[in-house]
Amino acid sequence: MAQCKLTPHEFIQNAFAPQIAILCSEDADNLCLKNNLRFVELIQPFCRLNNETRIADPAGNTVPIRNLRVVFEDMNRRPPQPTLGKKLLNEVVGTTPWDRPVTKTISASGTRSGLELELQSTTPWFEAWRDTFLHVQYPSDHEFTKHYIACIVVVASTSENPMDQLNRLSQYQHQQQHQTPARFPKWFSPNILKYYLLIHDVTVGDLAKSEQIFEQMCSMYGSNNCHLLQINSRATDQMDVHLPDPWTQFLIQRASIDPSGGSSSEASSGTGTPREDVSCLPSRVTEGDTTDCCEPIHPLSPTLSPPAEEKNGTFDVMPAVEISSDVPVMVNKPTLPTGTTHHGGCLTSSDVDRIRIFVHEFCVRSLIPHVERQIRYLNEVVTNRSRSKSLLSATRRWLGGNKSPGAATNSVIYSPEATELQTRRLGDLCFMFGLYELAYNSFHTAKNDFKSDQAWLYFAGAQEMAALAAFMHNSADYPKRYLESSLQTYLSVCKVYNFAIRSTLLSTEVLKHCGEYGEAAMMFIKLTSEESDLLSALMLEQAAHCFINARRPLPRKYAFHMTLAGHRFGKAGQRSHSLRAYKQAFQIYATRGWVLAEDHIHFTLGKQAHHLKQLTEGLAAYNSLVDQRTKQAAPSQQSPTQQMTYSREFINTYHQYIQQEWDSASGLPCLPLPLIDSQATTILLGSPQEAPTSPGWTAASHVSLDSGAIANDRWFALERELVTETQGTLPIVFRPNLQLLNKDTPNTQSPMVPVNEPVLVELIMSNPLAVSLMITDVQLVFTFKASGDQEMASDPQVKHSMFKGFNLPAGAQEKVRLELYPACTGQILITGVQYKLSLTPDLVAAPPPGSTAVPVVIEGQQSSQGNFPSSTKGEIRGKKERDREGFPLTSPHHCCRGLVRGDTERGP
């Protein structure tokens, strides 16, 4: 897989960071909204401790914790609905930008020199999808890493009775945890840590009053469980002074689509905390909508089978469960200002430091001591119960035998206080806080217990975490078989695809770190299916990167899987990623001569680029399909139907390209059809001689476009003798006059043509396709530069003819003759030929009923480079009429005796 911005250890640590619930009053959130942030968002950039902390294990040994990260979530946050969750995962892939590819030289088998490829060194869209997937994953009952381990109750000092608000919110949390049968939110243990925060607004609040309230809080809840946070030191009229904005990268998409089609900040996602003044709330709910308090339908719940629209397990449905009416429900939520781009406008650097201090004190003075007490308690409970259970478990394992996960699939339900779950809870708590050795022992014990009970979901989870704990403790020695077994159990036995995806994301990071790219690629490929296109595309792409980054790179496997990824990206609607994947795969196929693979990639590139309005790139891809000159090394294997499709797409894209992107001032772009045979192109200077009507006379030149092979050497010798006889000696540079230029004539100099005499150009156009083409309005493209002594005339200085057009059947050739008539001396430079191209009406796509098919006509040109006799490039000089003297018609009866023998026949 591609390089990630996080190391495997950092990624695993972030994936299982402790979850902290935030219960915030409306007044406190309003103070934070001055910065265009809610409280949960305000503290997001500071959720990682920069310094090293220490935690004690049950034996009293302290273990350092480096870069501890905690996750703050709104307690009443609801995971997105299945449709919204699917939309969110698609959008995060489509909107994440990526860097330019870098050139990398790899050594491929069968090649002496290295193969230079442009590769994506990073895949930020995959990392964004991965982080979003883990973030919205529903907490399960078989593990506790997504359960809230603590709750921070937040009130504002500006409220009427902050102490009463703290009490009411604390009761609300207690009711949510103990009296409500709902399964969300989930809590790590019955006695969670509660932390109380008082927010003081520096610009509008009374500091003395806030300190007095804070003292009351400390006396009631303990000084280690309370904190006074001062913010908003900058007034609102001073918000033009901005600090750096570290919040943008942490903000999660708030908007969702409500049933009416509008955008609501929290209507569907349920990300809001009850914020109505708690002092005015009733103790019971008597009426009103309580949908926010129902069990959420989560897109990543592994409990039930997936819904009809997404059957791959990525968006499963959790049944709704009603909450008791004894719980106070607060429904009014402030609307976050929209259209703002800057955050923290009322904060100073001192305020930011105070937020960091708050997070640090919460973790060091309250959270870690609470975790140490919980670890000691759980360790004692597990140890005492394990002693009494060891004989029973051994008997059960002996009687039950060694059963594989596929032997039975019965469901096992554990009570919340079961020893097996307490062991798993101990392992999760130790893992989240860096006690990996103790975590591994707990997971290993729980794994064996779950296996003996044939609780395969619990078994797979404990086995997965045991492998990760071993890796985090010692990267060089970890049970790789545990990772493979847990993935197989998730997929084949439990059929919980969300946990299989999570296991793959974690396991492949471990395998990549150990250099086992082939094993990582196989894990990615296992998750591909016909159900989820986006998931399959991402997994295939990462597998391709594994193949190219292996110790022994496999470029063909890379190209094959990248092509498959591009196909699935296209089916998922991710056209830009599909285009990128196909372009990267084409680097391998371009030099192989595999014309079918090349045609498939070119057609897909053109289609995706056309949909993305990248007409230049799309036209280049379609041009490669219809340009048969590029297929001379490997003949095209396109069927007539394919060629008709390719030609139609090429013409339509070309037509849009001309209208939308092409600069008309630069002329017309080049067309690849039809082919012009450069070896058969001829140029005739002057009018072709008509056959004399008098008997016994013949034209002296005998030169026309229909003339056969001309013995130029004999004519050149005759001209040299004539010049020598007339002038006495030959000039230093003797240039014979050429009237007919073709591939056999010396075309190193610009030829001469008299004024008002035509320049005839004969082209042979051929159709290399298996479909008919319509060619119309053919004319030469040229430039004329008059001599310096010429006066500008109102009439055109060079007249030209136009060939009306013809139908060019499949595989046919057609001669096209075009003329130029210079009206004054100067220089003519023929640069190409211009024409209009279209498909014949019978090949146009079927029109709607009641209308007729009108073919799309495009206009372009072909350059003279390579299509005219070499070196001349169509360059012609005009000369005056008197220069035509010396070209008389000769008669056999009046032939001059000074002519070279053999060139003319002597008369009687």
Rounded average pLDDT over 321-326: 34
CA dihedral 519, 520, 524, 525 (to 10 degrees): -30
Check residue 223 and report its DSSP letter: G
- Ranking 62-66, 412-416, 633-637 by mean pLDDT, the lowest is 633-637
| 128 in Cβ contact with 92 (< 8 Å) | yes
How buried is 908 (Cβ within 10 angstroms: 0-12 exposed, 13-18 middle, 19+ buried)? Answer: exposed
| 73 in Cβ contact with 24 (< 8 Å) | no
Answer yes or no: is 151 within a domain.
yes
| Last residue of one domain, picked from the residues 373, 406, 423 | 373
Rounded average pLDDT over 711-739: 79
Rounded average pLDDT over 230-258: 66
Cα–Cα distance between 287 and 280 in angstroms, integer?
16
Domain that holds residue 770: 678-694+731-880
Cα–Cα distance between 470 and 430 in angstroms, integer?
13
Rounded average pLDDT over 331-354: 68
pLDDT at 84 over 90: no
Answer yes or no: is 540 within a domain.
no
pLDDT at 493 over 70: yes
The amino acid at 818: L
Listed ranges 107-121, 522-536, 725-739; the one with the highest mean pLDDT: 522-536
In the prediction, which pLDDT does 684 show?
84
* 465 token code pair: 């975490």
751 and 625 assigned to the same domain: no
Check residue 717 and report its DSSP letter: H
Contacts of 436 (CB under 8 A, 6+ apart): 430, 469, 470, 472, 473
Cα–Cα distance between 848 and 845 in angstroms, integer?
10
Cα–Cα distance between 152 and 228 in angstroms, integer?
13
Helix locations, 493-554, DSSP H: 497-513, 517-526, 533-549
Count other C-beta atoms under 10 Å from residue 68's C-beta: 24
Give strand ranges (E) for 254-410. Answer: 256-257, 263-264
Cα–Cα distance between 99 and 83 in angstroms, integer?
30
The distance of Cα 587 from the centroid of its chain, to the nearest Å, equals: 17
Answer yes or no: is 389 within a domain.
no
Facing residues of 860 across strands?
A: 835
pLDDT at 633 over 80: no
| 561 in Cβ contact with 541 (< 8 Å) | yes
In the prediction, which pLDDT does 252 show?
56
Answer yes or no: is 163 within a domain.
yes
Characterize the bridge pairing of strands 19-24 and 71-74.
parallel
Q: How sure is the predictor about 218, in pLDDT bands with cuts at 50, 70 and 90?
A: very high
| Last residue of one domain, picked from the residues 373, 405, 435 | 373
Please indicate whether residue 299 or residue 429 has the higher confidence score (pLDDT): 429
Rounded average pLDDT over 678-683: 84
In the prediction, which pLDDT does 847 show?
53
Cα–Cα distance between 585 and 230 in angstroms, integer?
55
344 and 200 assigned to the same domain: yes
Q: Which helix (H) or strand (E) holds 660?
A: helix 640-660
Characterize the bridge pairing of strands 798-800 and 759-766.
unpaired
172 and 270 assigned to the same domain: yes
DSSP 553-621: --HHHHHHHHHHHHHHHHHTT-HHHHHHHHHHHHHHHTTTT-HHHHHHHHHHHHHHHHHTT-HHHHHHH
For the packed helices 480-488 and 456-473, what is the interaxial angle rounded to 10 degrees?
Answer: 150
Sole residue written with tokens 């008309």:
664
Answer yes or no: is 416 within a domain.
no
* CA nearest to 4, candidates 131, 125, 122: 122
Q: How sure is the predictor about 424, in pLDDT bands with cuts at 50, 70 and 90?
A: very high
DSSP percent split of the chain into helix, strand, coil, nearest 5 = 40, 15, 45
638 and 689 assigned to the same domain: no
Please indicate whether residue 663 or residue 908 has the higher confidence score (pLDDT): 663
pLDDT at 403 over 70: no
Model confidence pTM above 0.85? no
* 864 token code pair: 């003279």
* 867 token code pair: 């299509």
253 and 350 assigned to the same domain: yes
The total of structural domains in the chain comes to 3
Percentage of the chain exceeding pLDDT 70: 75
CA dihedral 205, 208, 213, 214 (to 10 degrees): 100
Please indicate whether residue 669 or residue 900 has the higher confidence score (pLDDT): 669
In the prediction, which pLDDT does 539 show?
97
Peptide bond into 185 cis (omega under 30): yes
Check residue 46 and report its DSSP letter: G
Question: What is the rounded average pLDDT for all residues in the chain?
Answer: 79
pLDDT at 578 over 70: yes
257 and 282 assigned to the same domain: yes
| 482 in Cβ contact with 448 (< 8 Å) | no
CA 862, 868, 873, 879 torsion-angle sign: negative
| N residues, the chain | 908
pLDDT at 259 over 50: no
- Ranking 211-220, 613-622, 704-713 by mean pLDDT, the lowest is 704-713
Q: What is each CA distance from 854 to 256, 327, 849, 850, 851, in whole angstroms?
A: 44, 70, 13, 13, 9
In the prediction, which pLDDT does 338 show?
46
Q: How sure is the predictor about 275, in pLDDT bands with cuts at 50, 70 and 90?
A: very low
| 405 in Cβ contact with 493 (< 8 Å) | yes
Listed ranges 309-323, 504-518, 627-641; the one with the highest mean pLDDT: 504-518
Tell me how far apart the terminal alpha carbons of the chain are, to the nearest angstrom.
94
Answer yes or no: is 833 within a domain.
yes
* CA nearest to 317, candidates 77, 19, 143, 79: 79
- Ranking 27-36, 123-132, 302-311, 425-434 by mean pLDDT, the lowest is 302-311
SS3 letters across 177-217: HHHCCCCCCCECCCCCEEEEEEEEECCCCCHHHHHHHHHHH
- Ranking 75-89, 108-122, 354-368, 782-796 by mean pLDDT, the lowest is 782-796
Listed ranges 502-506, 822-826, 849-853; the one with the highest mean pLDDT: 502-506
pLDDT at 215 over 60: yes
287 and 353 assigned to the same domain: yes
In the prediction, which pLDDT does 729 show?
82
Answer yes or no: is 530 within a domain.
no
* CA nearest to 504, candidates 487, 482, 485, 488: 487
Rounded average pLDDT over 443-468: 94
Rounded average pLDDT over 899-907: 32
682 and 631 assigned to the same domain: no
Check residue 846 and report its DSSP letter: P
| 128 in Cβ contact with 91 (< 8 Å) | no
| 648 in Cβ contact with 843 (< 8 Å) | yes
- Ranking 331-335, 642-646, 698-702, 767-771 by mean pLDDT, the lowest is 331-335
pLDDT at 180 over 70: no
Q: How sure is the predictor about 849, in pLDDT bands with cuts at 50, 70 and 90?
A: low
Helix locations, 293-367, DSSP H: 349-361
* CA nearest to 498, candidates 490, 508, 506: 490
Q: Cα angle vertex 742, ends 741, 747, to 5°?
A: 60
656 and 736 assigned to the same domain: no
Cα–Cα distance between 908 and 266 in angstroms, integer?
113
In the prediction, which pLDDT does 832 show?
87
690 and 658 assigned to the same domain: no
**For 523-540, what is each residue's pLDDT tens digit?**
999 999 888 899 999 999
Facing residues of 257 across strands?
A: 263
pLDDT at 328 over 60: no
| 289 in Cβ contact with 302 (< 8 Å) | no
Answer yes or no: is 464 within a domain.
no
Rounded average pLDDT over 147-158: 95
Cα–Cα distance between 104 and 543 in angstroms, integer?
18
- Ranking 322-336, 448-462, 538-552 by mean pLDDT, the lowest is 322-336
pLDDT at 845 over 70: no
CA dihedral 689, 691, 693, 697 (to 10 degrees): 90
- Ranking 53-67, 177-191, 655-669 by mean pLDDT, the lowest is 177-191
Rounded average pLDDT over 109-120: 73
**For 736-776, what is each residue's pLDDT tens digit?**
777 788 887 777 777 888 888 888 898 999 998 889 999 99
| 519 in Cβ contact with 513 (< 8 Å) | no
In the prediction, which pLDDT does 304 show?
34
Contacts of 367 (CB under 8 A, 6+ apart): 18, 20, 70, 149, 150, 193, 195
**For 863-902, what is each residue's pLDDT tens digit?**
866 555 544 444 444 443 333 322 322 233 333 333 332 2
Q: How sure is the predictor about 332, in pLDDT bands with cuts at 50, 70 and 90?
A: very low
The distance of Cα 123 from the centroid of its chain, to the nearest Å, equals: 8
310 and 366 assigned to the same domain: yes
Listed ranges 313-322, 369-378, 892-901; the one with the highest mean pLDDT: 369-378
CA dihedral 498, 500, 506, 511 (to 10 degrees): -160
92 and 181 assigned to the same domain: yes
Cα–Cα distance between 48 and 67 in angstroms, integer?
6
